[in-house]
Structure 1
Amino acid sequence: MELTEYIARNFARIALGHVTRPYPYKDDHVFESEADVRPPRVAHPVFFGSYDWHSCVHGWWTLLTLRRHYPKTAEAHQIVALAEETFTEAKLAIELAYLDRPTARGFERPYGWGWLLYLHLEAERHADHEWAARLEPLAQAFAARLRDYLRVLTYPITVGTHFNTAFALVLSRRWALGRDAGLVALIDDWVERAFGDRSDYRGWEPGGDEFLSPVLTAALLMAEVRPQLSFAPWFEALVVANGWLTRDCRPVFVSDRSDGKIAHLDGLNLSRAWCLRAIAPKLEGNEVEGLLLRLADQHLETALPHVAGDYMGEHWLASFALLALLRE
């Protein structure tokens, strides 16, 4: 199951329909005074759509990624025109200025940080436009925040929602590779201390509003930090030997897609598929590799029909479907 032009064009139309849709919008804002009461577009002239800031960021990652893979489609031309209109120095300067507020220290931490860095990484792949150069100051600002955060974050946050540490570090580390050796080293050292001794996973997964698997997200991070020879036995001790992978890693049921929290479970199926597909090559030659790929296909087949439908899922699910289909 891979990305096709048909799927790509459908995903592009979905994302084009929400990255500039201003409402409904869930604001992540600490009010300092009455003067702070303003429409989201005023504070976030770039990322004001898609229900919330972080979803708009990865909606744009979705659009740029699809444009790279299928540059000749009608949707790709629409993406370019909208990106030129959106990623201007003036608008991005306002996004950057927002971070200077003392009460914005925890703004979108860490989920939105990771996605912004990943968007910048994707923008760099479009050398025919200046999007990456314009996004660079914002990316560097979030990278600096991440460095400071890891120096004070004693324990990983292992919930399956936006506060999950491992997910943000997967995206951030990919951005830092070949660009910021110090940040890569800081992440790798922190990851080994946080997850290196973990084994025999017995978490109560899935949670009712999770869109990330706490254990598989951490495992994907470890797969990218560790060489294969040391990752394989770690993974075996984590979820294989105790039977969790075969017993509990099954597609989850979504009872109400109009409920924003319950709709997260479609994302759990998709993010699990992404993790399983990305981890599998690190177990090449191991019988577990085939199991991971079969489980990934089961999760994808369950979730893909529900990427579009109710706006509570539609404003973000295509990004996670794309991660899984591309094995990004």
Structure 2
Amino acid sequence: MKLDQELGGAFARIALGHVAKEYPHKLDHVLGSDDDALPPRVVHPIFFGSFDWHSCVHGWWTLLTVQRLFPEIAEAAAITDLAARSFTAEKVGAELAYLDRPLSRGFERPYGWAWLLALHLEASRHSEEWSEQLVPLARAFAERLRDYLRILTYPIRVGTHFNTSFALILSLEWADANDADLADAIRDRVSNWFSNDRDCQAWEPGGDEFLSPALIEALCMARAHPASFADWVGAFLPRLSERQPATLFEPAFVGDRSDGKIAHLDGLNLSRAWCWRSIAPFLAEPERSVAQAAAEDHLAAAMPHIAGDYMGEHWLTTFALLALLSDGRG
């Protein structure tokens, strides 16, 4: 399954349909008084759409990524126009002011932080103006991540937004381009937390997971320490050639796509495809072919469902794009 201009245009249409759609909306917002009871567009003048803040951020990442890869798509002009109206000094200032609230310390930690860094990195491949406008937000979240790594004793291994490995995968790419000290800190923590992990049992998926705790950890190690990854993964997944643990090779069944939590499982299938595709080049045969086949099985299970119900539609294109980009494009 390949990413082409037709599919990229479809992804862009889906994302354009929700990044500026204010309602329904789930705020990550701690109220200190009645004065804090405000609508999403006031609290977050850039990222008020897509059901929640982090989905809006990575919806924007989807738009900019697709526009860069396929500049001739019909949606390109609409993306440029909306970005010019959204990424302004005034609106960025309001997003920054929100972070300065004492009650906002844990806002979107760490998933939204990492996606904002990914968005800034993608913006830097486009308009210099967009990149410069988003720099203050990127720096603010980078500092939060730096501080968080100092106090986080144990990694969080769940398959949802709090997963440490996923946030570090996205953040490391930004840090390698913008902040060498942060990149070093990420690599140090990844080694400290995961380098001795062996014989992963992969008791997953949980009922509302959109990340595989096992495979996301593996991809994190591949990105942070590629030179030693082949040896590490041989100990972490020693029976990979036998398709064991079996749960990592069987796409998750989604019982109700109108339920926002259960719909996460479509994202699990997409993120597993991303991981399998990404780590396959590090593997020798027959493990490489096993990983590639697992990726295609998971893609086939999820791709028909990236649109249709808003509970999935407001975010699944991002994870489809991650998976499809892992074939080497982008």
* Both structures adopt the same fold (TM-score exceeding 0.5): yes
**Structure 1 partner of 2:160:** 161
Q: Find the residue that maps to 1:237 and give its secondary structure.
A: helix
Task: Measure, in 2, the Cα distance between the counterparts of 1:277 and 1:227.
Answer: 15
Q: Establish whether residue 110 from structure 1 lines up as the match of residue 123 from structure 2.
A: no
**Structure 2 partner of 1:133:** 132
Task: Measure, in 1, the Cα distance between the counterparts of 2:225 and 2:91.
Answer: 39
Paired residues for 1:35-184 under 5 Å: 35-127=35-127, 129-184=128-183
Task: Measure, in 1, the Cα distance between the counterparts of 2:68 and 2:32.
Answer: 41
Task: Measure, in 2, the Cα distance between the counterparts of 1:319 and 1:219.
Answer: 20
**Structure 1 partner of 2:212:** 213
Flag structure 1 segments of 5+ consecutive residues without an equivalent.
Answer: none
* Percent of residue pairs identical: 61
CA contact (8 A) 1:22 1:48 kept: yes
Paired residues for 1:249-328 under 5 Å: 249=248, 250-283=250-283, 285-327=284-326
Task: Measure, in 2, the Cα distance between the counterparts of 1:244 and 1:72.
Answer: 41
Task: Measure, in 1, the Cα distance between the counterparts of 2:55 and 2:224.
Answer: 27
- Cα offset for 1:244? 6.1
**Structure 2 partner of 1:234:** 232
Task: Measure, in 2, the Cα distance between the counterparts of 1:210 and 1:194.
Answer: 21
CA contact (8 A) 2:15 2:59 kept: yes
What letter matches 1:153 in structure 2? L
Aligned residues: 325
- Cα offset for 1:262? 0.2
Structure 1 residues 244-301: Cα deviation after superposition (integer angstroms, max 9, x where no partner) = 6462221111010000000000000000000111111222x44211111110011001
The alignment yields a C-alpha RMSD, in angstroms, of 1.2
CA contact (8 A) 1:118 1:175 kept: yes
CA contact (8 A) 2:199 2:237 kept: yes
**Structure 1 partner of 2:21:** 21
Task: Measure, in 2, the Cα distance between the counterparts of 1:180 and 1:107.
Answer: 22
CA contact (8 A) 1:12 1:62 kept: yes
TM-score by length of 1: 0.97
What letter matches 1:267 in structure 2? G
What letter matches 1:165 in structure 2? T
Q: Find the residue that maps to 1:199 and give its secondary structure.
A: coil
Q: Find the residue that maps to 1:178 and give its secondary structure.
A: helix
Structure 1 residues 4-34: Cα deviation after superposition (integer angstroms, max 9, x where no partner) = 1111111110000000000000000111111
63-72 or 241-250, which deviates more: 241-250
Task: Measure, in 2, the Cα distance between the counterparts of 1:36 and 1:314.
Answer: 29
CA contact (8 A) 2:111 2:162 kept: yes
CA contact (8 A) 2:117 2:174 kept: yes
What letter matches 2:114 in structure 1? G
Task: Measure, in 2, the Cα distance between the counterparts of 1:314 and 1:9.
Answer: 15
CA contact (8 A) 1:71 1:77 kept: no
Q: Find the residue that maps to 1:254 and give its secondary structure.
A: coil
- Cα offset for 1:203? 3.5
- Cα offset for 1:96? 0.6
Task: Measure, in 2, the Cα distance between the counterparts of 1:66 and 1:179.
Answer: 22
**Structure 2 partner of 1:198:** 197
Task: Measure, in 2, the Cα distance between the counterparts of 1:132 and 1:191.
Answer: 28
Task: Measure, in 2, the Cα distance between the counterparts of 1:225 and 1:300.
Answer: 25
CA contact (8 A) 2:110 2:161 kept: yes
CA contact (8 A) 1:64 1:79 kept: yes
**Structure 2 partner of 1:11:** 11
CA contact (8 A) 1:201 1:244 kept: no
Flag structure 2 segments of 5+ consecutive residues without an equivalent.
Answer: none
CA contact (8 A) 1:273 1:324 kept: yes
- Cα offset for 1:211? 0.1
